Amino acid sequence: MNKWGKIWAALLLTALLLLTWTGCGKTEPSGNETAGETEGATSSVQGESKVPQTETETRRMPQIPDADFEGESFDVLHWTVDESWIPWEEIYVETMNGDVLETAVFNRNSEVGEKYHATFSVAYEHVNTFKSKLQTLVSTTAKDYDLCVLRSVTVASIFMQDFFADMRDLSYVDFTNPWWSQSSMDALRTGNRINFCASDYLLMDKSATVCTFFNKAIADEHGEAIGNLYEAVRQGEWTLEKLTDCMAAVATDLNDDGRTNSDGDLVGMVGSDSPVNYLFLAAGGRFMQYNETRNCYDYTFYTQENVDKLQDIFESVMYADSNLNETHTPTSTTKFENDLALFKMGAVQKTSDFRQMKSDYGILPIPMYEKSQGRYFSEVSPDRDSLLFLPATVGEADMPFIGTMLEALGARSYYEVLPVFHDIVLEGKGTRDKESRDMLQLVFETRTYDPGLIFDLAGFARYIMHYTQYGTSDFASAYAEYEGKIDERLKELNNYIAENS
């Protein structure tokens, strides 16, 4: 951007910031609000482990009375796209087939089913028809399903449709138990209602959590410049600056074209536009947050602090000479897997892509913005995760059965399925070490939901993610273009909350 363009952007930013107001809508959050609610210890760099580390550790068991449901079926409606989007069966496995994770899910259901004399079923509905399926169910008051599981990005299309019941009405459920995700509930609540949440009954929220993969062979070769990345994480020194320093240290012009981020080069990082949102959230930035005091959502993106952080992310990472963005520069080979990229960011699920790598790789959280931030934040990708909710067709008489199933299945998953899931994720070459296990646990412990990514008012969050195509970081103009549409959608959302809390 030229000199006068920067001056104009600064003036426009100042003018827009002066228009922000307190109350429901747009506000500049305090330091605590910016951090948001996440899993784990809110002031810890590492977080607190939620999965028991030894078999002798005391288990916290659900407080459920003995019951015989006389063969009643626990029926779940689950989202799908195709088989590649659901790599693990998280709800129901009909028979054991030798797969260790599916065996764990099968045993979980069998044990709960035997204890409470219940059976299980799951039906899959494509994401494109999920909303219409719910409309049909609610309009006919058909009690075909006890529970629904959907992607976060579907929430926006059904949130104001009265398709869901309040999960607080469930019997025997204690949402403070460790198998419930507090951050997911906080991100999507209205008043005291619990509308949607993640549970360890599900696996897709874990597999959709984003992290940083690093190529150990490249890291070892440049060890003096890079250092011990695991130790950097533990010491709170895995920051945006550390990331960019490491990227620059390895970038090499292998094809002599005068660049260090073309197809044939050794690059510091390879990927797409997605790290924009990963790094913004990891820096403590949020597009939108629920305001408990005023029972509404505030659009918190447009603050000077957030704009400064996002500009730094674009200039130092996304536009760096050491970063190859495959969204705009297609590559002829899988660079990370072929020892031509130090870093790659993506969902934990991507570990399945690295099984055939000739070199070892490691797992790190997304770096925090700076050390003073004090903790890591790991985005749960709203395109690939799972949230559960109660369809509006369930009634008071259904709550003891559904509550018993969710609490019993969640507890069994927490203690018996999740450890197996961790082993599956770490199955790749070179990742079966204590440090990788600790890093993966940290990533899961710092899972964070941004309602601004879930609702994506006016499509602004996705627009910012793909803003690299313009080769600029003029977010004042970008926000000015969308501000009216965002305000309109936000008003609709908050009016609905006020009328239905």
Q: Which pTM value belongs to this model?
A: 0.88
Decide: 272 and 327 in contact? Cβ < 8 Å: yes
Tell me, what's the pLDDT at 27?
A: 56
Query: Using CA atoms in the order 396, 400, 403, 404, what is the torsion angle rounded to 10 degrees?
Result: -170
Tell me, what's the pLDDT at 6?
A: 40
What's the CA gap between 455 and 461, in Å, rounded?
9
Range of the domain at 345: 210-381+448-500
3-state secondary structure of 300: coil
Tell me, what's the pLDDT at 98?
A: 82
What's the CA gap between 126 and 389, in Å, rounded?
17
Is the domain of 425 the same as that of 361?
Answer: no
Asked if residue 164 belongs to a domain, the reply is yes
CATH number, residue 216: 3.40.190.10
What's the CA gap between 383 and 399, in Å, rounded?
29
- Count of structural domains, the chain: 2
Is the domain of 369 the same as that of 389?
Answer: no
Tell me, what's the pLDDT at 36?
A: 39
Decide: 159 and 455 in contact? Cβ < 8 Å: yes
Tell me, what's the pLDDT at 51?
A: 47
Is the domain of 304 the same as that of 330?
Answer: yes
325 C-beta neighbours (distance < 10 Å), count: 20
Is the domain of 388 the same as that of 377?
Answer: no
Is the domain of 337 the same as that of 388?
Answer: no
Is the domain of 281 the same as that of 142?
Answer: no
What is the mean pLDDT for each group of 10 consecutive residues in the chain (501 residues)? 42 44 54 40 40 58 95 96 77 87 94 97 94 91 92 92 93 96 89 91 94 95 95 97 98 90 90 94 96 94 95 95 83 83 94 84 96 96 93 96 98 95 75 81 95 96 90 89 97 92 75
